[in-house]
């Protein structure tokens, strides 16, 4: 394994005094998982906690409310965007081996890569895609079929899709960018993205309950997605897997919670597997955790910044990393606290998953990692005085139009899918409550964005463009 990143600076992490932690009490945490899962109407969940070098796995509820099949610790869930950590780890391994220059234009590897902006096409780098700073949009979906060429077709179909913003001017969460990364993996390895994951990550780490395709998942106990109104018991979705194969690199790794924790342990162990096999260099592991960009919206995924793949957290001086994931009706959460050697993984199949995560992780991370997670995002009891008039207008990005106005004298916005995404959801009417200057709590969008309120953040990009952040995506002001 090449030491390509060996000269990289060490990440800044506050030194922590060793503190005595309680032993993991499986009965206690099983009871908490059961109670909180039921309280928040989550049909089923699995929990994995890495602490003191051991992984503890718990399960609660049912895989499918229609059949009543129970969740077990070896059950497989859809991880949603936690898949991006698998893709970024795979890309960093290839860079570690000297097969990829993170700072060279993507076009050096993928001559067919193209955006709607000619200059951006020439300059966007792999590092920018990893850190969501390339300007590529998130909401471009395209079913390229079930063939091994699905990512190649996806990248070709994405030609001409408008950028959210100019490369390097902001962080804007991009699933399209991660599919481009997946295609880079294919070109460099000569394998499909699916096969490369097996060879470079699943096999050396012994991940026996990690896969990418439905036919592989059918050999396991599989969680069904559930959909419904917040605060009620959700019903099984019309189909188990509503995502195309081409969604793989950004959102389609099928896993057990324990296997996600095993991937996290490799990162905590400096790039080595459980048997000492080196998957990537320690320097490359640290490079992934180094802050690339601050995040104006610090609430949608609880992030303080972004690294190369990892979402970065700063809990009152305690540094961590992780990622959230959302498939259609399934939600996953991963948090890693390096100073404590702790990782926590929660996978769910619907209901108030975000609220379950918030309550359970506050307890777990507080107990085992000295972390105080922030309270749920919500407007203060005494709303601050803000200048809302400056934000009124129309904001646009590919597939989405956001109209900000005053309705009955109060801040309001309409979030509308358009063009190829117009059938995704009816328009959302959102009342806005001021939290701070440029920061608002939106009602009416459901708990997927946060624990009850949707963060809406207005910011100015480095090139002076005014924008609106919703769901970690930039929408520039158009009028």
Amino acid 231: pLDDT: 84
Amino acid 190: pLDDT: 98
- Reference 261, options 91, 80, 53, 89; nearest CA is 53
pLDDT level of residue 347 (50, 70, 90 thresholds): very high
Pairing of strands 44-51, 393-397: unpaired
Residue pLDDT, tens place only, 96-153: 999 999 999 999 999 999 999 999 999 999 999 999 999 999 878 889 999 999 999 9
C-alpha pair distances (Å), 312 with each of 91, 129, 243, 357: 19, 16, 27, 17
Residue pLDDT, tens place only, 224-259: 999 988 889 999 999 988 889 999 999 999 999 999
Amino acid 97: pLDDT: 94
The answer to whether residue 175 is catalytic is no
Q: Are 453 and 446 in contact (CB under 8 A)?
A: no
Give one word for 365, left, alpha or beta, with left for phi > 0 and alpha for psi -120 to 50.
alpha
Q: Which of 81, 131, 246, 302 is catalytic?
A: 81
Pairing of strands 393-397, 210-211: unpaired
% of the chain surpassing 70 pLDDT: 93
pTM recorded for the entire structure: 0.92
User: Is the model's pLDDT at 52 over the cut of 60?
Assistant: yes
Q: What is the mean pLDDT of residues 310-315?
A: 96
User: Is the model's pLDDT at 5 over the cut of 80?
Assistant: no
Amino acid 6: pLDDT: 40
Q: What is the mean pLDDT of residues 471-477?
A: 92
- CA–CA distance, 358 with 348 (Å, rounded to integer): 13
Amino acid 16: pLDDT: 41
The separation between the first and the last C-alpha atoms of the chain, rounded to the nearest angstrom, is: 52
| CA 103 to mean position of chain CA atoms | 23
Residue pLDDT, tens place only, 16-36: 444 578 899 999 999 999 999
User: Is the model's pLDDT at 421 over the cut of 90?
Assistant: no
Arithmetic mean of pLDDT over the chain? 92
Higher-scoring residue by pLDDT: 324, 444: 324
Amino acid 8: pLDDT: 35
- Reference 263, options 51, 50, 92; nearest CA is 50
Higher-scoring residue by pLDDT: 230, 309: 309
Amino acid 139: pLDDT: 76
Higher-scoring residue by pLDDT: 362, 138: 362
């Amino acid at each position: 394994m090449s030491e390509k990143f060996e000269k990289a600076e060490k990440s800044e992490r506050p030194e922590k005094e060793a503190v005595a932690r309680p032993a993991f009490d499986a009965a206690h945490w099983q009871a908490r998982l059961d109670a909180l899962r039921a309280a928040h109407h989550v049909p089923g969940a699995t929990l994995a906690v890495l602490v003191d070098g051991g992984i503890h796995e718990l399960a609660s509820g049912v895989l499918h409310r229609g059949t009543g099949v129970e969740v077990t610790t070896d059950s497989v869930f859809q991880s949603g965007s936690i898949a991006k950590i698998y893709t970024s780890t795979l890309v960093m391994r290839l860079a570690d081996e000297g097969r990829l220059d993170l700072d060279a234009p993507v076009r050096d590897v993928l001559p067919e890569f193209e955006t709607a902006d000619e200059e951006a096409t020439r300059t966007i780098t792999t590092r920018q895609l990893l850190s969501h700073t390339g300007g590529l949009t998130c909401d471009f979906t395209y079913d390229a079929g079930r063939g091994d060429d699905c990512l190649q077709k996806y990248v070709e179909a994405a030609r001409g899709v408008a950028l959210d913003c100019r490369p390097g001017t902001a962080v804007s969460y991009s699933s399209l960018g991660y599919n481009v990364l997946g295609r880079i993996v294919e070109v460099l390895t000569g394998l499909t993205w699916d096969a490369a994951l097996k060879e470079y990550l699943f096999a050396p780490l012994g991940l026996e309950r990690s896969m990418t395709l439905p036919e592989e998942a059918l050999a396991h106990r599989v969680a069904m997605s559930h959909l419904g109104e917040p605060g009620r018991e959700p019903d099984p979705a019309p189909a188990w897997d509503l995502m195309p194969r081409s969604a793989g690199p950004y959102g389609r790794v099928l896993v057990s919670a324990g296997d996600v924790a095993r991937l996290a342990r490799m990162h905590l162990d400096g790039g080595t597997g459980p048997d000492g096999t080196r998957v990537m260099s320690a320097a490359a592991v640290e490079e992934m955790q180094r802050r690339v960009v601050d995040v104006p919206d610090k609430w949608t995924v609880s992030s303080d910044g972004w690294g190369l793949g990892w979402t970065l957290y700063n809990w009152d001086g305690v540094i961590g990393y992780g990622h959230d994931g959302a498939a259609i009706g399934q939600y996953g959460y991963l948090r890693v606290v390096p100073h404590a050697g702790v990782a926590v993984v929660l996978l769910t199949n619907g209901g108030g998953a975000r609220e379950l995560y918030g309550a359970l992780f506050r307890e777990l991370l507080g107990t085992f990692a000295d972390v105080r997670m922030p309270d749920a995002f919500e407007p203060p009891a005494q709303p601050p005085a803000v200048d809302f008039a400056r934000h009124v207008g129309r904001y646009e990005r590919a597939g989405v139009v956001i109209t900000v106005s005053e309705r009955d004298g109060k801040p309001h916005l309409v979030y509308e899918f358009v063009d190829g995404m117009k059938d995704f959801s009816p328009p959302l009417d959102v009342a806005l409550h001021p939290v701070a200057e440029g920061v608002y709590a939106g009602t009416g969008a459901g708990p997927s964005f946060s624990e009850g309120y949707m963060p809406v953040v207005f910011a100015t990009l480095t090139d002076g463009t005014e924008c609106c952040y919703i769901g970690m995506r930039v929408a520039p002001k158009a009028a």
